[in-house]
Amino acid sequence: MKSRTTWEAKRQGLNPQQTEFKFKNLHFSSKFDSGNLRSVKRANVWLYEIQLTRDPHSKYKLYFHFSVSNFTPNKPYTFVIKNLTYQKRIYENGLKPVFKSFPGEDPWSIIPTDLSWKNGPDGFQIQFDYTFTEAQESVSFCFSHPFSYQMINQMVNHAQEICKEREDVYFKRELLAYSLEKRKIELITLTDSTEMTDDEEPLIKGCFPRHKRSMKRPRIFNKPTIFFTARVHPGETPASHALKGVFDLLTDFDNPMSKALLKEFVFKIIPVLNPDGVYRGHFRLDTKGQNLNRYYKDPTITTQPTIFAAKAAIIQQRNLGKLKVYIDFHAHSGKKASFMYGNHLYGKSQVNNCLLAKLVSMNSLNFDFQECQFSEEMMNVVDKRDGLSRDGCGRISIWQTTGIDYCYTLECHYTALIMDKVLSPMFSSETGEIIPDKPINDINSEVYKEEDPSEYIVEILEDVGQAVLAALLDLISKNPFSRIPASKYKDLEGIREEVANFVDETWGLDEKPPRSFKKKTAKPLPRVAMLSSKKQTKTHSEKFQENVKSKTKERGRLNHIRRGYQKSLQRSNQSSFLNNNSIEENKSEIFNNYTRNLKVLPKTPSTYLSDLKRISEEAKSLLNDPKTKISTSNPPKPLQKIPEPLLQHPVSTPPQIQPPLSSQNLSLHRPKSPIKPSRAQIFCTQKFYCKFNQAHP
């Protein structure tokens, strides 16, 4: 077998990134859930150059996941991934690929060798070494700690099995919708049996494809709903790890916090919004190349069925008067701590908005309140790659639709750092004793003794998800293990006062409605008819071209109206002279024609009002002075007097008149036949002349 030979994959099915490459002494494969590999080139026996498959219709090439087998043990191999999207910052922050050995139960771990990166001819590239052992049959490498579509289903299955054993726990698992490739979008309802009514939630048109009449929907509870969604961007695996922390705490029924959470709230959870992208190993887009987190404003059931179903389920909770908090779980490659994006609100709403984020930071060492963003500028950012605005993302669209204060994007981190803060101890509300912290929340534990605690990133991410739950209990002062009494604030009002001062110094506390929000009652559910296949989603460039065409067409139409107005006045004046009619009678007739059909005239932008007003002033002066003639050239010229002898001669035998020796010469050309203004010309001039007449009665 020759060296430096590229082996093309035998690609099966519809997934070009799930391939297999076999060399004499090494086999590569990405033919599994969330795998991503495009090609492998053997430079020599120990060096292999790898390229990735991009997301459809984009340049995103960042997420990789492949396995290696049939290797020679105890020999160092070098792997170079060559065509990555430029992401220098994430590797400078300490991100390294992770690996897992098979067979075995060992967790995913960070590669033990150094990682190097640089710009190459094929794009940004990273390089790392790995030495295989005899005990390993195959080793998988991944961009970050993976969380595949299968792992998501296993997480939900595990929670369902635990809840089946408890009669006091209410767990409902529903098929909300199918993705474009017919993968499941599930809606989980989790709470306890308190405050449960006999009523069921109504069906949503266009959702629940397998629902039958004999099947029951979840009961309606007399307590607020907390709505969580995750993995709209498939490569943001930290979001699923944080959501796993949420499931772990909610199903830890021996923990008083779990009991308090299920008693006070109803949790609605959609674990994955882009299952096709997760399965295919995409980083940000779905199978059609859509960034689904930009289509919440107007999703369609044909092109964004998962977003349509998720938004409909959220709106239903708002219509029932239950929705209190909405959080979409994401990951951010440019930060080394978790934070939140919130909306820019006003007055007390902005204080409430910032308060929940502050409470999360008080319950996690790895959540940084200083990195949180609540500005209006962040709500209007336009993506450079696709030109789509954040106005269509989940937190903004849900806030605009429902009007609730607590709408967030939780941005989790890929790497960890040692934060310069110490958490207050937890106090038991029953015994008043201090509750010992987990190592993840203890700055003096073994976790944070190393310079880089990223080895514990999975546990850190799960703790961030659990900190969100603790903050929800603090928000209503129902946390059995609260840190607030031992903090400098002493109670919730002290925290609220500090947050209010922060809001006042940053934006002010003026009570005025947000620019993009119209206060209204509960919005009805989206209509399925609105989301039919007839309405196709257009790209940003197509919308821009349509806008340009419409403006050009409108501008041409208005220019035509203006020219017709001028010509009709000129021709009407010439016609009256050649027919030897009374100019005064003709002027009155034109004036009456202009004022006849005011209500049916089209609207005209103000850019033409100045020109048309001058023409109207000329027509008005014509009514007052029978010895004046209107000159309607473009642009309008000052009125010129018609010579007196010319007015007194009959049309049948027009004399040869020499122009007078003055600066007011007027050249008139006799047409072959009398010219009458057309109906279209008269119609086009009516509106503006009538407006002038009304303003100058």
Residues 349-391 pLDDT 10s: 999 999 999 999 999 999 999 999 999 988 988 887 777 888 8
- DSSP conformation letters of 255-292: SHHHHHHHHH-EEEEES-S-HHHHHHT-SS--TTS--G
Active site residues: 411
Q: Report the alpha-carbon distance of residue 642 to residue 636 in Å, rounded.
A: 17
- The long-range contacts involving 493-497, CB below 8 angstroms and separated by at least 24 positions, are 495/355, 495/358, 495/359, 495/362, 496/351, 496/355
Of residues 387 and 189, the one with the higher pLDDT is 189
Classify residue 499 as exposed, middle or buried by CB count within 10 Å of its CB (0-12, 13-18, 19+). Answer: buried
Tally of CA atoms within 13 A in the half-sphere of 88 that contains its CB: 6
Closest by Cα among 284, 246, 454, 474 to 360? 474
Closest by Cα among 394, 420, 406, 393 to 337? 420
Question: Which strands sit side by side in the sheet containing 6-7, from one edge to the other?
Answer: 6-7, 39-44, 47-51, 76-84, 123-131, 115-120
Mean pLDDT computed over 195-201 = 95
Question: What does the H/E/C string look like for 479-524?
Answer: CCEECCCCCCCCCHHHHHHHHHHHHHHHCCCCCCCCCCCCCCCCCC
Question: Which amino acid is residue 671, in one-letter code?
Answer: P
**Least confident segment among 223-232, 254-263, 405-414, 561-570:** 561-570
- The answer to whether residues 10 and 20 touch, using CB atoms and an 8 Å cutoff, is yes
Please report which confidence band the pLDDT of residue 570 belongs to, taking 50, 70 and 90 as the band edges.
low
Q: Report the alpha-carbon distance of residue 474 to residue 671 in Å, rounded.
A: 89
Q: Report the alpha-carbon distance of residue 438 to residue 425 in Å, rounded.
A: 11
Percent with pLDDT over 90 in the chain: 58
Residue 510 confidence (pLDDT) above 70: yes
Q: What is the pTM of this model?
A: 0.74
Q: What is the mean pLDDT of the chain?
A: 81
- The answer to whether residues 195 and 212 touch, using CB atoms and an 8 Å cutoff, is no
End-to-end CA, the chain: 97
Domains detected in the chain: 6-142 (2.60.40.3120), 149-536 (3.40.630.10), 543-651+670-695 (no CATH)
Classify residue 188 as exposed, middle or buried by CB count within 10 Å of its CB (0-12, 13-18, 19+). Answer: buried
pLDDT digits (tens, 9 = 90+) for 45-70: 999 999 999 999 888 899 999 999 99
Closest by Cα among 319, 667, 360, 374 to 524? 319
Instruction: Using the Cα atoms of residue 451, residue 452, residue 455 and residue 457 in order, give the sign of their dihedral.
Output: positive
Per-residue confidence (pLDDT) for residue 555, from 0 to 100:
66
Residue 670 confidence (pLDDT) above 80: no
Q: Report the alpha-carbon distance of residue 174 to residue 26 in Å, rounded.
A: 44
Instruction: Using the Cα atoms of residue 579, residue 583, residue 586 and residue 587 in order, give the sign of their dihedral.
Output: positive
Mean pLDDT computed over 272-290 = 95
